[in-house]
Chain A
Amino acid sequence: MEFTEEQLKRYSRHIILPEVGGKGQKKIFEAKVLIVGAGGLGCPVGYFLAAAGVGTLALVDNDIVELSNLQRQIAHSTKTIGMNKAESAKKTFETLNPDVNVIPVKERVNCRNILDILNGYDIIVDGTDNFPTRYLINDACVMLKKPLVSGAILRFEGQVTTIVPNEGPCYRCLFEEPPPPGLVPSCQEAGVLGVLPGIIGGLQATEVLKLILGKGKPLIGELLIYNALETNFRKVKIPKNPDCNICGKNPKITELKEYTEEYCGI
């Protein structure tokens, strides 16, 4: 494909980067990225990926926009309260960049639909807020061998890691099983600084672009932890667990199962 004059202007700061260039920008156009959750993390991830020109961007969310979301979920607005979040974000992203095909998937992922939902996408982003879904996405991505950029936030702290099946560890290598319900408080119970998902989501979007471009060192085998109060970033090595239940030599999990809804209470 040839760039239009408008695209040359829109992506000029990318094209002049040696690591991107016209070739890299074309890879970005051709990429198909799916974001699970159009909330705190999904909004900034999608926003920056739309700005970057990711050609196909799917957003999976069946929630509606509420006033209490707007302190951090920057793709939504007072005008879209009551609208499905994936639809609301689609409006925002397509206004920002009409080059991008935004596909709203108005569903909640579960063990029955997740493989179909992820099918056809190159890179998956986890922007969910609960452990059962986080583990389900991890397991599905390992099974489908799809790269996954995982992010999580609470209060003033967030974390990011990039999971590339067969190359590095998965989420279960780090934490074998989800924590028991109630152990880890939710943002609803514990709060979250509104800007925090912007930082963690920005890091996730960066990881996605690096994977698309094949440049730099993605956060494979490492968990990056950001503390906003202390203003520090820590990197923790994650060893691959050879006995991991999903990505180990003899995986015990061979089909996806539903985690109980009580987990979702977190």
Chain B
Amino acid sequence: MSGFKVDKNLDIRGVVCPYTLVKSKLAVEDVEVGQVVEILLDYPEAVTSIPKAMENYGNKVLKVEKISSTEWKILIRKEVED
């Protein structure tokens, strides 16, 4: 996605809640503060729940984009140490 350098990619297509969040959380733990994780997913409920959870953790949701009829990309910038 334009404008943001992605430091880590996470493909969780086929994964359902709550493991969408579990895997997203672990991916964000793996990067440094200021780095960006791009999450590719196809579980509709997670498109709203992951950004909300990430904001609750104190991270920044840079973008939520529908890229096909069944897939989305979410960009998260890590803002706080774990």
* Residues of A in contact with B (beta carbons under 8 Å apart): 3, 8-9, 12-13, 15-16, 18, 21-23
Cross-chain contact B25 with A22 (CB below 8 angstroms): yes
- Subset of 14 A-B contacts with CB under 8 Å: A3-B26, A9-B19, A13-B18, A16-B53, A18-B56, A18-B57, A18-B58, A21-B25, A21-B26, A21-B29, A21-B82, A22-B26, A22-B29, A23-B82
Decide yes or no whether B23 CB sits under 8 A from chain A: yes
Tell me the bound Cα distance from A13 to B25 in angstroms: 12
Tell me the bound Cα distance from A15 to B25 in angstroms: 8
Beyond A16-B53, A18-B57, whether A23 also contacts B21 by CB under 8 A is: no
Find chain A residues with CB under 8 A from B53 CB. 16
Chain A interface helix/strand/loop/mixed:
helix
Cross-chain contact A16 with B29 (CB below 8 angstroms): no
Cross-chain contact B82 with A16 (CB below 8 angstroms): no
Cross-chain contact A15 with B26 (CB below 8 angstroms): yes
Cross-chain contact A12 with B19 (CB below 8 angstroms): yes
Chain B interface helix/strand/loop/mixed:
helix
Which listed residue (B22, B56, B58) contacts A15, Cβ 8 A?
A: B22
| B:6-29 near A, CB below 8 Å | 18-19, 21-23, 25-26, 29
Cross-chain contact A8 with B22 (CB below 8 angstroms): yes
Nearest chain A residue, comparing its CB with the CB of B80: A18
Find chain B residues with CB under 8 A from A8 CB. 19, 22-23, 26
